[in-house]
Structures are given as C-alpha cells and as structure tokens.
Amino acid sequence: MATKKPLKFDFDSDNTPSAVAEFTASDVVSASDGGTGFSSLALLATNLSSTDILSSSVSGHSVSAVNFFASDSGAFNCMGLDGQKFFMKRENGGTYENLIKSDEGTITIQSEDDIHFLSNAGEKFMRLNESGGNGEVELYYNNSLKLETTDAGLTITGDATVSTSVSSVDLSAVNVSAASVSATSVSSLTIGTAASSLTASTCPIPHPFAYAKLDDDGTAATTETNIGAGATITQLTSNAAADIAWDDSNDYFTVKKAGIYELTARVVLEVATTTVVTLKIKTGGTVHNTFAPKINSAVDPQEATLHAVFTAAASDNISVTHTDDASTNVNAGAGTTLILKRLL
C-alpha cells in the first residue's frame, strides 16, 4: 500500500484555490482564533499556548487519541458559555463513563477558594474549605451536613456507629447528651486514671466520695458531739479539692458542689452506763435522719447504723453526731466509719 500523505490547497493572489499540493513540514496551519501558526500538525497539541478555541469554531467533529499539554508556566483551560458544561468522558463498550484518571503519580485539584462536589441536581456531597479557612472538610448525607473538620478537631452531627472498637480516646471536655445515647450498652470501658472522670449530667463518674475511719476512741461526752472528735482519723477522698473533703479540725465533711448526697454511718458506741444515745445526720442545723438506740454498758461496744440521702449546696458542712439522753458519757469507738457519696 502506498504511503498516505496529507494534502493542502494552494491559493492565488485573489485568495482563490488554484492547486492541490503535498503538505510538508515547512507549511503552516493557522488557528481560526488568535492567529497562532503551527509548523506541523504534529506540533498542534504542544503549541496551543495563549489560544482560545470556542465552541462556535468546532462543530460536528469527533476527535480521538489527542493529547493536550501545557508547559509548567502555562495552563490548559476548558471553558463554556453561560449554562454550558465541560465533560471528560471515556468510551466503555457502548456506554460512556465520566472519568478523571491518572495512570501514574498524583492528581492535584487546586482552587483559590472552595471546592464543591455536587450531584447533577446540586445536592451536596462534599465541600472543601467552605468557610474560607484552613482546609475545612464537610461531608453530607441527603444534603445534610454530617461531619466537619474544625480547628478543635471533628464535629459529628447525628449518631456515630462503631462496628468494632474505639481505643485510646480522650474523653476530656466531651459532652454526651441523653439524646445521643439510646438503648445502648457499654462494657469494659476504662475512664482514664484516678484523677480522670466522665461527667453524666453534672455529676462525675465514678461518683465522688469521702471516707473517714476512727483509728481510736473519740471524745466521751454527754452533749451533742461530732463523731470523729478526739480521735485519730484515716481518710480517703476521690478529690478533696474539687468534690468532698474531710475537715479534721471540725470533724465533718465539706462538699464543694451542689447535688444529691448519700451518707452511711456505722458507729461503734461505748457508754459508761446503760443509756439511750441519739444519732443524727446533719447539714449545718438541718437534720436529715435520726436514730436513738439503747446501748447496754454490760455488752458494749455496740454498733448502730444510720443512713440518709439528701440535697446539699456547695460549701455545706455535713456531720454525724451522738448525744446522750441524760448525763451519761458516750463516745464513738475505734472502727467507726463514715462514708459520704455524691449521687447526682
């Protein structure tokens, strides 16, 4: 088969076709817009710098296997008039696929402002840098914002379902509302160290507590006396500075936060003679519960237990007292324990 050669029309001085000749490497093809010339058809793809090709100048043509290149300092622009769209497609059998593909290396999509990924109907899928900040990412479902990156981290709107497990998560300063947790069980959950906690409503979990134990006998008295007076106290608190503290000078608990509290007193009572001893749980002058057991001196010490649940304000002092009904000395003996917990 003979070699195929491209042909051209020669024109006379009146710009009238006068002859047909072979197109050679020295001939020039001019673009219809911009007037840029090309020394050969082979260089057409690499020499379209600063040249606009409008839709009005190309119609009814099919172009295949054409590569467009731009130099590092140039740009390849695809633009349409108002209402027109630009498509990149490839043929796959009898259908066409919208495709952006790189056979090697990295694809970079760069914008001076925002980047939006939308459906044909304008429904939002993903928006990048929408707030014009530092690369914010927004993900949508059914046109509703569900996940957003922020300066502080990550904001999720709605439920977050974890199919396996979440580990090494810092829950400090995280609020979990009742609306976001429903019919859910949590097992084997570790909340930080002894100084860390999870807050439900306004009360930390584990619940704050304070414990006091008499290591020896307290002061014997006939009048109302705080249990702990005159004794050496072993105390243990979850966080004395922030929650509940034992005041060893005044022999009572001081609460730092308002809430609902529970106090259990297990009192070892000793008396000089058989008598009735009145025990009270008090906040200041308010009595929350009272119990008056008869203590037999022949079988003492005897143990009595008193319990109460009550509301306390921040800085309230909570005590347990004993009082004799007459003039018999009464004291709380070694082994007596008091424990105060915050419930809500």
Partnered with residue 278 across adjacent β-strands are 323
The pair phi, psi for residue 137, each rounded to 5°, is -120, 130
Instruction: Spell out the domain ranges in the chain.
Output: 1-41, 115-156, 204-342
pLDDT in the model for residue 97: 64
262, with CB counted inside 10 A (0-12, 13-18, 19+), is middle
| pLDDT at position 63 | 47
pLDDT at 106: 82
Residue 240: both structure tokens together: 């004395």
pLDDT of residue 105: 77
**Tens place of pLDDT for every residue, the chain, 344 residues?**
567 777 777 888 888 888 888 877 677 655 444 444 444 444 554 444 444 554 444 444 444 444 555 444 444 455 544 555 555 555 566 666 666 777 677 888 888 788 888 888 889 999 888 776 678 899 999 999 999 988 888 888 887 777 666 655 555 555 555 444 544 455 545 555 544 555 556 778 889 999 999 999 999 999 999 999 999 999 999 999 999 999 999 999 999 999 999 999 999 999 999 999 999 999 999 999 999 999 999 988 999 999 999 999 999 999 999 999 989 999 999 999 999 999 99
> Residue 235 — φ and ψ, nearest 5°?
-125, 150
> 204-342 architecture in CATH?
Sandwich (2.60)
CB-side neighbour CA atoms (13 Å) of 29:
16
**Residue 232 CB neighbour total at 10 angstroms:** 13
Query: Is 244 within 8 Å of 251 (Cβ atoms)?
Result: no
C-alpha to C-alpha distance for 23 and 9, rounded to whole angstroms: 9
Q: Which pLDDT score, from 0 to 100, does residue 340 have?
A: 98
- Rounded Cα distance, 238 and 340, in Å: 11
